[in-house]
Amino acid sequence: MKARSIALAILTPLLEKNVIKTMSLDIPVVFSMSRVIVLAFATAALHQIWHAGIAGWPDATLAIAIVLALPILGALDRLKPSDVAELAKTLVERFGVGGVRRVANTYAQEPSKFDDHRED
C-alpha cells in the first residue's frame, strides 16, 4: 500500500490534465508528453549544472525557462492555434541575436597548472 502511494505521488504530475485528451482514449492513465519532455530536459540541465556550473546569462536563462515551462504550456493549451503560431514565430525570429559564450570543454582532462600535486 505504501509503495503504491509513493508511485502515485511521483507519477501524478506527469499525467495529462486536459479532460478532452484523456476522454478520447480508452485507457485509465494518459501521460502528458510535454510534461515528460520537460522533466527529461530539466534532468539533463540539472546534470550539466552540477558538473559544469552556470557559465553566464544563457545558462541561467535556460534554467529559468525550464522552471517556467509547465505554467507556459498550460497557458498555451488555452490559446487559439493561430496565437500559438504567432508566438512561436516571434520567438524563432530572435534566434541568433546577441552574444554567446565560447564553447570549450568544461571537464578537465589534465591537472590544473595551479595544482602542486602534494598531499594536503
Question: pLDDT in tens for each of the 120 residues of the chain?
Answer: 688 777 777 777 777 766 666 677 777 777 778 788 888 888 888 888 888 777 777 777 888 888 888 788 888 888 888 998 998 898 888 777 666 666 566 665 666 666 666 665
Does 109 reside within a domain? Answer: no
Q: Residue 12 has what pLDDT? A: 74
Q: Are residues 11 and 41 in the same domain?
A: no
Q: What is the pTM of this model?
A: 0.52
Q: Are residues 65 and 41 in the same domain?
A: yes
Q: Are residues 2 and 53 in the same domain?
A: no
Q: Are residues 17 and 71 in the same domain?
A: no
Q: Are residues 47 and 88 in the same domain?
A: yes
Q: Are residues 9 and 54 in the same domain?
A: no
Q: Are residues 15 and 52 in the same domain?
A: no
Q: Are residues 42 and 79 in the same domain?
A: yes
15 DSSP assignment? B
Does 113 reside within a domain? Answer: no
Does 103 reside within a domain? Answer: no
Q: Residue 86 has what pLDDT? A: 92
Q: How far is CA 55 from CA 40, 62, 94, 105, in A?
A: 21, 11, 21, 12
Q: Are residues 39 and 82 in the same domain?
A: yes
Domain span at residue 88? 34-98
Q: Any long-range contacts for 31-36 (C-beta under 8 Å, 24+ apart)?
A: 34/73, 35/70, 35/73
Q: Specify the number of domains making up the chain.
A: 2
